[in-house]
Amino acid sequence: MFSFTTLAIVVVLLVVMATQIFKVLNEYERGVVFTFGRFTGVKGPGLIVLIPLVQRMVKVDLRVIVHDVPTQDVISRDNFSVKVNAVVYFRIVEPDKAISQVANPFEATSQLAQTTLRSVLGQHELDEMLSQREKLNVDIQRILDAATDAWGIKVANVEIKHVDHDETMIRAIAKQAEAERTRRAKIIHAEGEKQAAAQLVEAARMLGAESKALQLRYLQTLADLASEKTTTIVFPLPLDLIRPFLEDR
C-alpha cells in the first residue's frame, strides 16, 4: 500500500513537471521566455521546452484585437458638445516589447485611444467631424500607431462610429448651413455682376470705336421696342443726330 502511494505521488510529480517543461503554442501565439528573470528570446509556435524553476514563459496572442472605445464627450473647435465613440483594430507585432515595455498593453492602448480621440476631434469643427471622417480616422490611426510603436503594437485601423448631438445643435447646424448657402448665393451673384460689367465695358469700347456700329445698335433697340405690344414707345434721341443742327447755329 505504501509503495502504491509513493508511486502515485511520483506520477503526479512527473505530470506536474511535464506541464512545466513542455508547452504547446498555437500558430497565432508566441512565448516570451525569461531565464532567471532576464529576457532570453521569443519562442513558438509548436512545442516549447522550458527548464523548471529556471525559465518562465509569458504567452502572447498575435491576433487582431477589436477594441470598442467608450463614448467620449468632445467639445469641437466651434464650441459644440458631442458624444463620439470609435473602434480600434490593433495587434501585437513584437511580443518582447509588449511584455517588457508596458504592464498591460491592451489597457494602455485603450486609454491612449480615448485621449487621442478627444484631442484630435477637439481640434476640428463639427462640420469636419461629420463630413471628413475618413481623414480623421487616418489622423487618429497615425498618432496611435506612432505612440504604440515602442510597445510593439501595430494599430491597423481606426473607425469613428457615431457622432451624437442634441436637437438644439441640430437647429444651430441647420441655421449655419442656411447662412452658408446664402453667402455662396451672394458670392455667385456678385461674381456674375462682375463678369457682366467686364463684358459691358468691352462692348462699350467696341461700339465707341465705330460710330456706325453704335447707330446700328440703336436701330436694333428701336426694332426690339417696336415688336412690343404697347401704345406708347419712348426712345432716346442720340445727340449725334441733332449735333449738326446745333453746329449750324
Q: So what's the pLDDT on residue 177? A: 77
Q: In 3D, which of 49, 53, 24, 16 has the Cα closest to residue 37? A: 53
Q: Name the pTM for this structure.
A: 0.64
Chain segment 179-208, per-residue pLDDT in tens: 888 888 999 988 988 888 888 788 777 767
109: nearest Cα among 95, 98, 122, 119: 98
249 pLDDT exceeds 60? no
Amino acid 125: pLDDT: 84
Which residues partner with 67 through β-bridges? 88
Query: How much is the mean pLDDT over the chain?
Result: 83
Q: How confident is the model at residue 135 (pLDDT cuts 50, 70, 90)?
A: very high
- What cell was used for 149? 510603436
CB 137 within 8 A of CB 158: yes
* Residue 47 to residue 23: CA distance in whole angstroms: 6
Q: Helices marked H in the chain — which ranges?
A: 2-21, 95-100, 105-121, 126-131, 133-148, 167-209, 211-226, 239-248
Give tens-digit pLDDT for 68-93.
999 998 888 888 788 899 999 999 99
For residue 45, pLDDT over 70 is answered with: yes
Q: What is the pLDDT of residue 168?
A: 66
